[in-house]
């Protein structure tokens, strides 16, 4: 289940656009415009900080689908595909 949390901002790390829970993990997300979407120091500092144990990060941009190390780049229009259908258990009535 995907749940949005508040944005993260720290003077030592920088500002992240979104930090969400996705597939039981923390997922930092940046949305970039223009041609400099490979420049994202805040998301890099968080992703590669061993304290946080973050497996991957996502950058939505005007570019194509691409993977570089722990960062996955998607075109902005693909942000809707980030959601994952979760099947909830059917609970039996309490007798």
Residue 50 lies in a domain: yes
pTM: 0.72
Residue 38 lies in domain:
3-82
Number of domains observed in the structure of the chain: 1
- Among residues 23, 93, 25, 11, which one has the least CA distance to residue 53? 25
3-state secondary structure of 57: strand
Please answer whether residues 56 and 68 qualify as being in contact, where contact means their C-beta atoms are separated by less than 8 angstroms: no
Confidence at 9, pLDDT banded by 50, 70, 90: low
CA distance 2 to 9: 21
Residue 35 lies in a domain: yes
- Render pLDDT for 25-83 as a digit per residue (tens, 0 to 9): 889 999 998 888 888 888 999 999 888 899 999 999 999 999 999 999 999 988 887 76
Q: Is 39 inside a domain boundary?
A: yes
Is there a domain that residue 58 lies in?
Answer: yes
Query: Does 92 reside within a domain?
Result: no
Answer yes or no: are the C-beta atoms of 38 and 47 closer than 8 Å: no
Q: Is residue 87 part of a domain?
A: no
């Amino acid at each position: 289940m995907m749940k949005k949390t508040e944005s993260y901002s720290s003077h030592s790390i920088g500002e992240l656009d979104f930090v969400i829970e996705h597939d039981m993990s923390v997922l930092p997300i940046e949305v970039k415009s223009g041609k400099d979407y490979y420049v994202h120091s805040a998301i890099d500092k968080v992703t590669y900080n061993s304290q946080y144990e973050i497996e991957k990060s996502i950058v939505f941009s005007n570019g194509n689908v691409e993977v570089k190390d722990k960062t996955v780049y998607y075109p902005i229009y693909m942000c809707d595909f980030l959601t994952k259908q979760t099947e909830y258990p059917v609970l039996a009535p309490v007798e």
